[in-house]
Structure 1
Amino acid sequence: MSEQTLQDELKGAKKKSAKPMLWVSMISMVMFFAGLTSAYVISMNREDWVTFDLPQAFYISTFLIVGSSITLFLSQRFLKKSNLSASRILLVISLILGIGFIFYQYEGFNQLKSVGLYFTGKGSTVSTSFIIGITLMHVLHLIAGVIVLLVVIYNHFKNKYSATDMLGFELGAIFWHFVDVLWIYLFFFFYFIR
């Protein structure tokens, strides 16, 4: 067996296992957040539970992350049509919107603090600790998503993707859309279950 044939087989095996491995990791993240939101629901029965409105910044961040998924989806469509320049522009816009999401999450934490709701310490409550803790865990996943987008952008500008070879792009897009859907779930969860 030649070295080229061996490399082709290894590449094929990598392609076959990449998406299933990503799906397994995303399922584990779903279970993690399901556990956190379940604990939130159970804790609502406590006597010291405090209800409050979601910060306005969380609404803005929701629009930003949905917008980033839309631009990433369009970027992938342009890549499939071999329109690399449009694909790259939309990919960078997705990144900017994702960073805007993180900024507005931080602003949301500040808005909670400004009304006397803290994550830890004297002014903290169980409910604020939960909402900030769960949101912070999501932001950490989104930071991972931003790193993924940076890698995809770097590879895209190095011409590593094409209409026929876009596995890395697809994996990054799947993860990014997952993080988007996860935030929408958390947002509506906190909106309706207080």
Structure 2
Amino acid sequence: MTDISELPHKEKMARSKKQMMWFAIASLIMMFAGLTSAYIVSSSRRDWSPVELPVEFYYSTGIIVLSSLSLFLAKKSLEKDNLPGASLFTLLTFGLGTAFVVIQFMGFESLYDQKIYFTGKGSNIAGSFIYVIVMAHLAHIVAGLISLAVITYKAVSRKYSSSKMLGFELGAIFWHFVDVLWIFLLAFLMFFK
């Protein structure tokens, strides 16, 4: 194992930034572990009424998986110094990420149409949890979209290359994390009604 003190300054900084990203991801995992644990505990309440997830949540899952694929292809393009390809795939990823958010809000409309409300008269605890879990995830998707906007701008401006892609890698790590997190949350909500 390499002693970190032997690494050049630039490499130390890259390593530190990646470690900070992983610490942030670990804290997000703990937050969602708390939310899903509270959901499981609350599901034993007498007033618990299972909620059917809107079909839009399933459609959005396909969109977010495609966004991870396009970001993967953007990174592969960047590694080959194919800057037009990297630009195209980052633009596509941003567009798919935006579509994910739009479809998620369409899912909220479907919940509302089913008379499943976040709070107030007619609300139920299961529905409220779905709103909280999905909105918490969407907040992180918005952070991911901001990161993707920066990545996209830099890719289109040709500020990345195969030897200069730390910012891209950090943004990609976060985006792939929120993608995997959504798949986990959807599976969780499907199986723990």
TM-score by length of 2: 0.94
1:162 partner SS: coil
Question: Amino acid of the residue matched to residue 43 of structure 1?
Answer: S
- Per-residue deviation, residues 115-168 of structure 1 (Å, max 9, x unmatched): 110001111111000011010000000000000000111112222210111110
2:42 maps to 43
Output the CA distance in 2 between the equivalents of 1:123 and 1:141: 28
Equivalent position SS for 1:186: helix
Corresponding residue SS for 1:21: helix
1:65 alignment partner AA: I
Aligned ranges 1:85-164 → 2 under 5 Å = 85-164=84-163
- Give me the whole-angstrom Cα distance separating, in 1, the residues matched to 2:113 and 2:156: 42
Q: Distance in 2 between matches of 1:173 and 1:181?
A: 12
Which residue of 2 is the match for residue 5 of structure 1?
none
TM-score (norm 1): 0.93
In the aligned structure 1, how far is the partner of 2:120 from the partner of 2:103?
Answer: 23
Q: How does 1:1-194 map to 2 (within 5 A)?
A: 9=9, 11-194=10-193
> 3-state SS of the aligned residue for 2:52?
coil
Identity of aligned residues (%): 47
Aligned length: 186
Gaps of 5+ in 2: 1-7
Q: Is this contact kept in 1: 2:90–2:155, CA < 8 A?
A: no
| Deviation (angstroms), 1:170 | 0.5
After TM superposition, the structure 1 stretch with the greater mean CA deviation from structure 2, 28-37 or 14-23, is: 14-23
The Cα offsets for residues 82-109 of structure 1, whole Å up to 9 and x where unpaired, read as 1111111111111111001101110111
- State the shift of 1:13 in Å: 3.6
Are 2:56 and 2:106, in contact at CA under 8 Å, matched by a contact in 1?
yes
Partner SS for 1:164: coil
- Tell me, what secondary structure is at the counterpart of 2:118? coil
Q: Distance in 1 between matches of 2:184 and 2:79?
A: 29
Q: CA deviation at 1:12?
A: 4.0
What's the CA shift string for 1:42-101, capped at 9, x where partnerless?
000011101121101101110000000000001100110111111111111111110011
Instruction: Give the whole-Å Cα distance in 2 for the aligned partners of 1:107 and 1:165.
Output: 39
1:125 alignment partner AA: N
Match of 1:4 in 2: none
In 1: Cα distance, 2:68 partner to 2:34 partner: 25
Unaligned runs of 5+ in 1: 1-7
Provide the C-alpha distance between the structure 1 equivalents of 2:175 and 2:146, rounded to a whole number of angstroms: 10
8 A contact 2:84–2:156 mirrored in 1:
no
Please state whether the residue corresponding to 2:44 is helix, strand or coil.
coil
SS for the counterpart of 2:67 is helix
